């Protein structure tokens, strides 16, 4: 990937832009689901939340996750970072975050059928997962403590 070295900073800019879109969606989706499960099944409000959840997932969260991975892996290859322990730790956390993303996508499908985890308090607690992941991931990549 040495051909991409002159574009390293542009790749990093692209990576951070899609990280922001992805994380914005990861903060919004559990909150949407918290509001959604407090509405009556079959109500107009509940149907409106279903449409919002599907749109957010399809237009922002899914494409942003894919592009974050594409730019991130390209950066790792271009910068020859793959042997670094901080990257291994970061990748572990990002894989867990991607798993949480998959869980949210599954819940959006279930909420579409009026099923799923219908507890607002639990969704507000789950909302903290992306916050803690972001703090740890940014410290790992900026400080590179090991």
Contact residues: ligand HEM, CB under 6 A: 12, 15-16, 19, 23, 68-69, 72-73, 75-76, 79, 81, 94, 97, 134, 137-138, 141-142
Contacts from 50-53 at CB under 8 Å and sequence distance 24+? 50/111, 50/112, 53/29, 53/108, 53/111, 53/112
Nearest residue to ligand HEM, by Cβ distance, number only? 72
Least distance CB 98 / ligand HEM (angstroms): 7
Give the phi and the psi of residue 84 in degrees, each rounded to 5: -85, 130
Q: Which is nearer to ligand HEM, 24 or 117 (CB)?
A: 24
- Give the integer Cα–Cα distance in Å for 9 and 111: 40
Q: Specify the residue, 37 or 56, whose C-beta has the smaller distance to ligand HEM.
A: 56
Please identify, using beta-carbon distances, which residue of 99 and 110 lies nearer to ligand HEM: 99
Q: How far is the CB of 44 from ligand HEM (least distance, A)?
A: 35
Minimum distance between the CB of residue 2 and ligand HEM, rounded to whole angstroms?
15
Tell me whether residue 37 or residue 75 sits nearer to ligand HEM (CB atom). 75
Q: How far is the CB of 136 from ligand HEM (least distance, A)?
A: 9
By beta-carbon proximity to ligand HEM, the closer residue of 1 and 117 is 1
Nearest approach, Cβ of residue 46 and ligand HEM (Å): 31
């Amino acid at each position: 990937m040495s051909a991409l070295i002159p574009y390293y900073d542009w790749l990093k800019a692209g990576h951070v832009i899609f990280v922001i879109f992805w994380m914005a969606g990861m903060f919004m989706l559990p909150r949407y689901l918290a509001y959604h499960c407090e509405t009556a099944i079959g109500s107009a409000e509940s149907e409106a939340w279903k449409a919002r959840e599907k749109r957010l997932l399809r237009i922002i969260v899914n494409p942003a996750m894919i592009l974050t991975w594409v730019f991130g892996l390209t950066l790792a290859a271009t910068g020859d970072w793959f042997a670094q322990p901080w990257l291994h730790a970061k990748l572990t956390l990002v894989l867990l975050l991607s798993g949480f993303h998959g869980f949210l996508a599954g819940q959006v499908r279930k909420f579409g059928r009026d099923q799923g985890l219908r507890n607002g308090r639990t969704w507000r607690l789950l909302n903290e997962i992306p916050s803690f992941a972001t703090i740890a991931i940014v410290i790992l990549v900026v400080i590179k403590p090991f």
